[in-house]
């Protein structure tokens, strides 16, 4: 398949995603809370519940619209017994602690009415012990008609007795997560029917959990065919932490979660593991790693339910953490691809590694919000929406210096061109900033915030001054 043979969904190029971990975002219906739900804001553990649900998301849609969000990524909402819902019991049923199918339809309709797309998260590699087929194997052993739905080495299996070998394949040796036998046509049909059902219901795409664990690219080719036949503009994004090229040839996924982008931003802005020139080299490699139609819909994130919160990582590395996070947020919002905000990052929600990164959104404690960061995020989300150059325009790195730790890049199209300069350093600097040869020639750039005018001479923007931990966004005139 050649570059021109396939396209990715156009709407994703213009999307700003917001990832929601439903159990911790908002509690809109206390009647469906788990019996053992703890008070909202309790420190998260692997096993506790707080009562977040779909009605809570519905109630906060206008907050998301005000932030500039036009796409949602929801962690799993199907019936399961954990807060994260990756141990799926029933792929066709909304978890009762989250709501009902009607609640979800309301969420989908209300989101769409506001111009917000919705993609769902599912794991097709494994299920929970309560999944009907595995439960039948537990009950009936070798006589179950579903033994070939899984990878069972011998009987009896031991799904609960940790002192014995499980005797079946699992995800990363978690016996509560039996691995599907996707070579079995019945299993394949079941899982592909799941994909079909929710796309036909009206969701706008799928985020696929651990898709690399299914060592069969033909499964994902069939998945794509089914999804795209129903909705050619559906977005398929896989959770791949490293290079995703094997899935991004036009026959499987549209994009992957861009953890390589997240790693670079964390190392440069948050933890100081790399300096500006090394960061630039990594970013430039990301730009050319995939075909252009992939690059412009890559799922760009600074954190997720599987990582420590960006602000917490930055604080561990030293002072000015909030300013460094602002620089990272700005860069994410001007970089090619679909930026995603992990719920609460816009207000400075803290959290260490999983499960601490899954804290409750403190709706009832606005005094704890970093309102400056929230306003910053809202401002640059709006700016991205206003300028096509930041969504579908060209990109070039202009300058990166390890000693100064200054990084600069450009975005441009036929309508406008911008130069973005970031000083990730406690030292103020003044420099003549070189421009890229491909940039249309202009005589001046204007600071989009202050209105200050900068002259261009001999291919450089003259006397660009940056305070510590500050930025400039300059627009050509």
For residue 403 the two structure tokens come to: 């000693």
Last residue of a domain, one of 361, 386, 411: 386
Give the pLDDT of residue 82: 97
CB 78 within 8 A of CB 69: no
Residue closest to 51 by CA, chosen among 272, 305, 363, 309: 363
Q: What is the pLDDT of residues 317-363, one digit of tens each?
A: 999 999 999 999 999 999 999 999 999 999 999 999 999 999 999 99
Asked whether residue 158 falls in the same domain as residue 281, the answer is: no
What does pLDDT average to over the chain? Answer: 98
Cα 339 to chain centroid distance, Å, stands at: 8
Last residue of a domain, one of 386, 412, 432: 386
Q: What is the pLDDT of residues 142-188, one digit of tens each?
A: 999 999 999 999 999 999 999 999 999 999 999 999 999 999 999 99
Judging by beta carbons within 10 Å of its beta carbon (0-12, 13-18, 19+), is residue 295 exposed, middle or buried? buried
CB 160 within 8 A of CB 191: no
Does residue 191 sit in helix, strand or coil?
helix
Whole-angstrom distance, CA of residue 71 vs CA of residue 375: 19
Whole-angstrom distance, CA of residue 436 vs CA of residue 329: 24
Q: What is the pLDDT of residues 441-457, one digit of tens each?
A: 999 999 999 999 999 99
Asked whether residue 262 falls in the same domain as residue 410, the answer is: no
The CATH number that applies at residue 418 is 2.60.40.1180
Catalytic entry in 95, 121, 209, 254? 209
Confidence of residue 5 (pLDDT cuts 50, 70, 90): confident
Asked whether residue 302 falls in the same domain as residue 426, the answer is: no
Q: What is the pLDDT of residues 220-255, one digit of tens each?
A: 999 999 999 999 999 999 999 999 999 999 999 999
Confidence of residue 3 (pLDDT cuts 50, 70, 90): low
Give the pLDDT of residue 4: 57
Asked whether residue 20 falls in the same domain as residue 112, the answer is: yes
Please state whether 413 falls in left (phi above 0), alpha (psi between -120 and 50) or beta.
beta
Whole-angstrom distance, CA of residue 279 vs CA of residue 340: 20
Residue 111 domain-assigned (yes or no): yes
pLDDT at 132 over 80: yes
At which residue do the structure tokens 């990363």 appear? 172
Residue 175 domain-assigned (yes or no): no
Sequence-ordered list of residues with C-beta below 8 angstroms from that of 213, at least 6 positions apart, any chain: 125, 126, 171, 179
Give the pLDDT of residue 300: 99
Residue 398 domain-assigned (yes or no): yes
Whole-angstrom distance, CA of residue 143 vs CA of residue 232: 42
Percent of the chain with pLDDT over 90: 98
| Strand 417-423 with 429-434, pairing | unpaired
Q: What is the pLDDT of residues 457-466, one digit of tens each?
A: 999 999 999 9
CA quadruple 235, 238, 241, 244: dihedral, nearest 10: -80
Give the pLDDT of residue 94: 99
pLDDT at 24 over 90: yes
Catalytic entry in 95, 239, 323, 346? 239
The CATH number that applies at residue 144 is 3.90.400.10
Q: What is the pLDDT of residues 87-127, one digit of tens each?
A: 999 999 999 999 999 999 999 999 999 999 999 999 999 99
Asked whether residue 434 falls in the same domain as residue 366, the answer is: no
Q: Is 209 a catalytic residue?
A: yes
Boundaries of domain holding 136: 130-169
Does residue 355 sit in helix, strand or coil?
coil
Asked whether residue 266 falls in the same domain as residue 156, the answer is: no
Global pTM value:
0.97
Burial 255-294 (b: 16+ CB within 10 A, else e): bbbbbbbbbbbbbbbbeeebbbbebbebbeebbebbbebb
């Amino acid at each position: 398949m050649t570059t021109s043979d396939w396209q990715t969904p156009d709407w994703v190029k213009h999307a700003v995603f917001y990832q929601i971990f439903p159990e911790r975002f908002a509690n809109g219906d206390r009647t469906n809370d788990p019996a053992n739900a703890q008070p909202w804001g309790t420190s998260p553990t692997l096993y506790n519940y707080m009562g977040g649900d779909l009605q809570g998301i519905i109630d906060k849609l206008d907050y998301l619209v005000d932030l500039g969000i036009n796409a949602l990524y929801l962690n799993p909402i199907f019936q399961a017994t954990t807060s994260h819902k990756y141990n799926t019991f029933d792929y066709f049923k909304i978890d009762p602690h989250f709501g009902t199918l009607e609640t979800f339809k309301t969420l989908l309709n209300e989101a769409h009415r506001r111009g917000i797309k919705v993609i769902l998260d599912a794991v097709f590699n494994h299920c929970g012990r309560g999944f009907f087929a595995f439960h039948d194997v537990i009950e009936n052993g070798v006589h179950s008609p579903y033994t070939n739905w899984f990878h069972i080495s011998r009987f009896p299996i031991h799904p609960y007795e940790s002192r014995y070998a499980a005797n079946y394949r699992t995800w990363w040796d978690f016996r509560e997560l039996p691995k599907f036998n996707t070579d079995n046509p019945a299993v394949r049909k079941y899982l592909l029917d799941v994909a079909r059902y929710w796309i036909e219901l009206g969701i706008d795409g799928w985020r696929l959990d651990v898709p690399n664990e299914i060592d069969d690219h033909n499964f994902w080719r069939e998945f794509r065919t089914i999804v795209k036949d129903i909705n050619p503009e559906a977005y398929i994004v896989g959770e791949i932490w490293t290079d995703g090229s094997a899935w991004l040839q036009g026959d499987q996924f549209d994009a992957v979660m861009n953890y390589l982008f997240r790693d670079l931003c964390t190392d440069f802005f948050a933890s100081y593991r790399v300096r500006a020139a090394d960061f630039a080299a990594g970013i430039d490699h990301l730009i050319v790693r995939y075909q252009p139609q992939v690059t412009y819909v890559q799922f760009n994130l600074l954190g997720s339910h599987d990582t420590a919160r960006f602000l917490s990582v930055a604080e561990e590395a030293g002072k000015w953490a909030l300013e460094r996070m602002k620089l990272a947020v700005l860069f994410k919002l001007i970089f090619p691809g679909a930026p995603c905000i992990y719920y609460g990052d816009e207000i400075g929600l803290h959290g260490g590694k999983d499960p601490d990164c899954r804290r409750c959104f403190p709706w009832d404690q606005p005094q704890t919000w970093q309102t400056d960061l929230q306003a910053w995020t809202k401002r640059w989300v709006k700016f991205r929406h206003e300028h096509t150059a930041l969504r579908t325009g060209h990109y070039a790195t202009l300058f990166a210096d390890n000693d100064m730790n200054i990084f600069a890049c450009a975005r441009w199209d036929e309508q406008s061109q911008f130069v973005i300069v970031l000083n990730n350093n406690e030292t103020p600097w003044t420099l003549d900033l070189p421009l890229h040869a491909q940039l249309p020639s202009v005589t001046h750039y204007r600071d989009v915030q202050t209105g200050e005018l900068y002259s261009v001479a001999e291919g450089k923007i003259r006397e660009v001054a940056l305070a510590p931990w500050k930025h400039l966004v300059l627009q050509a005139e």
